[in-house]
Amino acid sequence: MPRNTTLSRLLDAGAHLTADGALATELEARGCSLDDPLWSAKVLLERPQLIRDVHRDYFDAGANVATTASYQATPLGFAQRGLSEDAALDLVALSVRLAEEARREHLDRHPQAGPLLIAGSVGPYGAYLADGSEYRGDYVLDAEAFKEFHRPRIGALVEAGADFLACETLPSFAEAEALLALTAEFDVESWFSFSLQDGAHISDGTPLAAVGELCGSEPRVVAVGVNCVPLHLVPAALAALRGAGSKRLVTYPNSGESYDAATKTWASESGKADPAAEAQTAGLAAGAGAWRELGARIVGGCCRTTPRDIAALATTRAAYPGP
């Protein structure tokens, strides 16, 4: 049995959880410049207290899960800044401590709040490349190379006390296979969440049914789903995953906008740039009921979502009783 089974026990007891929203774009909104290959991991070096504040704001908004600022925090990435592997892994551990500080601060003010969990974010190799590859999955590494890349960060997250891993924005079937092996190696619970080519395929073209079956074979994977995707793709993707296995589902799409990795710009699904905040909030919260009916037990937001969006989303959880 994994060393920490909090997530699976909550879902077994019937819980419907609200995940947090965007970290990087929320940090940008608070004055951070993330035009950098390290992306949000850059803030671990420069303004770590701001990461803690964002986590706390999401807990205050009603989130049950804080996702650590380790999505793009890897020894290879930090090596480009001249940091040793030990220093890089200290920063990965710091990402967990910042989330834990935010949880403690929230519980000090709201002792009855909960459950509150910390997900150790494990972004794909494509995120380290910082060229949009996490939305294409067109990089090729063998299984051992994938494991060598991900193993140190996963070890640091587990050692620092993350409640489970969020292996997220995964575009590659081969990379998912390697990460599954690492969850077994470290005996840690996880969710696996994929980026999409369309409503039936992950970014490298693998059918969602295939990744659903793959994740279904690993008992440490508690939920499988999609993230950093347009709102309109979520229902078809969840239906495909539900038909492929018995895992609980997780989804945290973008705010109602689509990202162009080539131009590094956002546009609404209607094609208009930067839609109003009210429309973003309505889109995320309005979809939550249908996503839960399709089997999503964990629902949150990804890029361009805010504590305001998560507060609106959390109110929809009341219709689904549970711990």
Number of domains in the chain: 1
Q: Assess if residue 301 is contained within a domain.
A: yes
Q: What is the pLDDT of residue 4?
A: 82
pLDDT score of 43 more than 50? yes
State pLDDT tens for residues 141-166. Answer: 999 999 999 999 999 999 999 999 99
Amino acid, res. 129: L
Beta partners for residue 150, in sequence order: none
Prediction pTM value: 0.92
14-28, 40-54, 245-259: the lowest-pLDDT one: 245-259
For residues 51-62, average pLDDT: 97
Q: Assess if residue 1 is contained within a domain.
A: no
Strand order in the sheet with 65-67: 17-18, 296-299, 248-252, 221-227, 190-194, 164-170, 117-122, 65-67
Q: Assess if residue 182 is contained within a domain.
A: yes
Q: What is the pLDDT of residue 55?
A: 97
Q: Assess if residue 25 is contained within a domain.
A: yes
Res. 320 pLDDT band, cuts 50 70 90: low
State pLDDT tens for residues 266-291. Answer: 565 554 444 433 444 457 889 999 99
* Domain enclosing residue 188, as ranges: 6-319
- Tell me the CATH number at 110: 3.20.20.330
Q: Assess if residue 164 is contained within a domain.
A: yes
Q: Assess if residue 293 is contained within a domain.
A: yes
State pLDDT tens for residues 287-316. Answer: 999 999 999 999 999 999 999 999 999 998
Q: How many residues does the chain have?
A: 323
pLDDT score of 259 more than 70? no
Q: Assess if residue 201 is contained within a domain.
A: yes
Residues in Cβ contact with 320 at an 8 Å cutoff, skipping those fewer than 6 apart = 16, 292
The two tokens of residue 258 are 């689509």
Phi, psi of 302 (to 5 degrees): -120, -135
Give the number of other CB atoms < 10 A from CB of residue 195. 23
